[in-house]
Amino acid sequence: MTSVFEDLHIAPEYDGLIYLAESVHNPPILRPHQHVELEVNLVVRGSITYVLESERYTFRQGTLLWFFPWQKHQLVRRSEDAQYFVAVFKPGLVERSCSGGRYDGLRRPGVSATEVLSTDLDIESFEQIQRSMESLMEDALDAATLNREAGFGVNANFSFQHRDPDWLNAGLHQLLLLCWRSQGSYERRGIDVQMHPAVRKALDVLAQQGDEVITMAELAPVCCVSPAYLSRIFRQQVGVTISQYRNSMKLGRFWKIYHGRSQPSLMEASYAAGFGSYAQFFRVFRDAYGQGPREALGA
């Protein structure tokens, strides 16, 4: 299957972007995604949990982690107090910044699609990287806007902006090298949870279903287990219920449909995304974004 890379809406004058993701601002859109940019996360507070294909990893305060362009990753759970920096670097910046032998492993890392390269930073390195990231945020858009729009934004016309592109680009260059130097030994994160075959199958089916909607009664037999068992083991291993996961996937489909060329109404887009009623869509949307769809979109 051909990989579809996510458009992170980074204007040409920027070599990447950075923002502080927070549970209190950032809507929990859970769909798996990948992008041509290199991504680095620094966990500042709480914990975050990712799934890469069939493997689940949880990272806590003080962890630096990397996602490379061939790694389809999926944020599935965050603690209520989670704060983590997300920095992404365009391929051109990586090539220009990493010409020396010390950075060969960054240009050509030996990690597979399901391995996470990470390290638990010492206090000095953590504080140094945190200060560097915070300095790049001084002339950025406000935190609420970046959390709402970056990656899976409400506004189809959103493009990352910074009031000092030269400062940002120079800072991203230094930040990338600092993070790699702080990575230290070439650590691959051990798997926290090896997914049960039924959960692996469910994640695969749900990711590939596109605009088609599959019910639990249909999903469980495909996974060769009962609906009750699938519901229980899915929540244990992924960290959210199947209902929560499916609703997030539906929200992801809603945005694609609503921002599509046909320009459907909110109701038409919600039904096409798989919501059973507009009331259900409204409730899920409000839970994710803190306000109703008409208010959020000005529709």
**Terminal C-alpha separation, the chain:** 36
- The candidate with the shortest Cα–Cα distance to 85, out of 46, 33, 32, 58, is 46
Whole-number pLDDT of residue 205: 85
Q: Do 93 and 177 form a contact (C-beta atoms < 8 A)? A: no
In angstroms, the CA 9 to CA 290 distance is 23
DSSP state at residue 5: P
Which residues have C-beta within 8 Å of that of residue 78, sequence separation ≥ 6? 23, 28, 46, 47, 48, 49
Q: In this predicted model, what pLDDT tens digit does every residue of 142-186 receive, in sequence order? A: 777 777 676 555 566 777 888 999 999 999 999 999 999 998 755
Whole-number pLDDT of residue 220: 93
User: What ranges do the domains of the chain cover?
Assistant: 16-183, 196-297
Which residues have C-beta within 8 Å of that of residue 150, sequence separation ≥ 6? 8, 9, 17, 19, 86, 160
- The candidate with the shortest Cα–Cα distance to 97, out of 180, 166, 40, 165, is 180
Whole-number pLDDT of residue 1: 42
Does the CA dihedral 266-271-272-273 come out positive or negative? positive
Choices 2.60.120.280, 2.60.40.10, 3.40.50.1220, 3.40.630.30: CATH for 16-183: 2.60.120.280
Residues with pLDDT less than 70, the chain: 1-3, 24-31, 148, 150-156, 185-193, 209-213, 261, 298-299
Q: What is the DSSP string of 76-132?
A: EEE-TT-EEEEEEE-HHHHHHH--SGGGHHHHS----TT--EEEE--HHHHHHHHHH
198-222 burial, b for 16+ CB within 10 Å, e for fewer?
A: bbbbbbeebeeeeeebeeeeebbee
Domain 196-297: top CATH class: mainly alpha
Q: Is 175 left (phi over 0), alpha (psi -120 to 50) or beta?
A: alpha
Q: Do 40 and 73 form a contact (C-beta atoms < 8 A)? A: no
Q: Do 159 and 17 form a contact (C-beta atoms < 8 A)? A: no
Whole-number pLDDT of residue 135: 95
In angstroms, the CA 284 to CA 244 distance is 9
pTM across the whole model = 0.78
Whole-number pLDDT of residue 276: 86
